Amino acid sequence: MSGFPGGDIMRLIIEDDFKKLSKRAAKIIANAIIKKPDLVLGLATGSTPLGTYKELIKMYNKENLDFSQVVTFNLDEYYNISQDDKNSYNYYMHENLFKHINIKEENINIPKGNVKEIKDYCKEYDKKIKKCGGIDLQLLGIGNNGHIGFNEPDKELNLRTHLTKLTKSTIEANARFFNSIKEVPDRAITMGLSSIMNSKKILLLASGKNKTNIIEELLTKDKATTEIPASALLMHSNLTVILDEDAACNYKKRMKKGEKDEIIN
Ligand code: GLP
């Protein structure tokens, strides 16, 4: 019997620490690029993917990992923020990954946070993903409240790319990147649940003690709920979850004997 929902289709990897988690995630991405040089790669922001991006840069420098044909789509962007604002995800992606590798600027897609015709723009973003053949591999982090991208817990979840309001808890969690909480935008553009779930493969990362409660909830509840948007991922047919020991801590405590062999180290 599997110890978690979706156990037949989900691959759960627990690494000792953030560094090892990052190396493992980067290796999975690198292998996907080697296998398909024109990989359509979905990317995430926040603290969690930073180590993965560092490892990918190392592989570009030392192992000739080639990004020249890779096409990327970012999950989300704050709304009403200019592309060169230091708090924009556009800035983050260029600083932490793109300017260090040989990706072509025209192959980079990040929702624009300052467009006027937002509905049309969101439709175009989804259309472009489709036109590129869909996302082959989507990298994801998870919010403390279970959000993915900026799909916040709610009664209903949007399926397509859309403009959304951020919850208080997300604004508080993300305030660490800003000078003050007042500067945190209260809205964002995000890919929707369907845009994410249509990815051929999903790689969800969680690191640190502050993620242990949500990971426990996600992996022990045998239910999908819009109150934990990440729970939709448990229905995906090709999901890999990589945790570090801190994030896995509560979940591991709840595991009974005999379920341990489900964990791949
Ligand atoms: C942000 C992003 C998410 C990210 C999450 C977790 O709000 N929109 O894509 O996964 O927060 O961030 P962190 O990795 O910093 O914990």
Distance of CA 63 to the CA centre of its chain: 25
Select which of 15, 55, 76, 126 is catalytic: 76
Please, are residues 114 and 85 in contact by the beta-carbon 8 Å criterion? no
Catalytic residue among 87, 90, 136, 147: 147
Supply φ then ψ for residue 136, to 5 degrees.
-80, -45
Distance 142 CA to ligand 1 centre (A): 6
How confident is the model at residue 222, as a pLDDT? 72
**The one-letter amino acid at 106:** E
Tell how far the Cα of 39 is from the centroid of ligand 1, in angstroms. Answer: 23
pLDDT of residue 8: 56
pLDDT of residue 234: 94
* Closest approach atom of ligand 1 to CA 44: 9
Concatenate the DSSP letters of all residues of 200-244 into one string. Answer: SEEEEEE-SGGGHHHHHHHHH----BTTBGGGGGGG-SSEEEEEE
Look at residues 90, 10, 101 and name the one whose alpha carbon lies nearest to residue 53: 101
**End-to-end C-alpha distance for the chain, whole angstroms:** 19
Active site residue 64: no
Instruction: Kindly name the residue from 145, 151, 174, 250 that is annotated as catalytic.
Output: 145
Active site residue 147: yes
pLDDT of the residue at 2? 42
Separation of 90 CA from ligand 1 center, angstroms?
14
Contacts of 74 (CB under 8 A, 6+ apart): 42, 43, 44, 45, 89, 93, 109, 110, 111
**Which residues have C-beta atoms less than 6 Å from ligand 1?**
44-48, 75-76, 141-143, 149-150, 170, 174
Task: Report residue 28 as tokens.
Answer: 């999975």
Pocket of ligand 1, candidates 21, 47, 142, 165: which has the most ligand atoms within 8 Å of its Cβ, to mutate?
142
Query: Tens of pLDDT along the chain (265 residues)?
Result: 344 554 457 899 999 999 999 999 999 999 999 999 999 999 999 999 999 999 999 999 999 999 999 999 999 999 999 999 999 999 999 999 999 999 999 999 999 999 989 999 999 999 999 999 999 999 999 999 999 999 999 999 999 999 999 999 999 999 999 999 999 999 999 999 999 999 999 999 999 999 999 999 999 987 899 999 999 999 999 999 999 999 999 999 988 545 544 554 4
Atom of ligand 1 nearest to the CA of 174: 7
Is 174 one of the annotated active-site residues of the chain? no
Residue with tokens 């242990």: 212
SS3 content of the chain, % helix, strand, coil (to 5): 40, 20, 40
Where does 7-202+213-243 sit in CATH, by number? Answer: 3.40.50.1360
Listing DSSP states for 146-170 in one string gives S-BTTB---SS---SSEEEEPPHHH
Which residue's alpha carbon is nearest to atom 12 within ligand 1? Answer: 46
Query: What residue segments make up the domains of the chain, in order of their start?
Result: 7-202+213-243
- Residue 116 Cα to ligand 1 midpoint, Å, equals 25
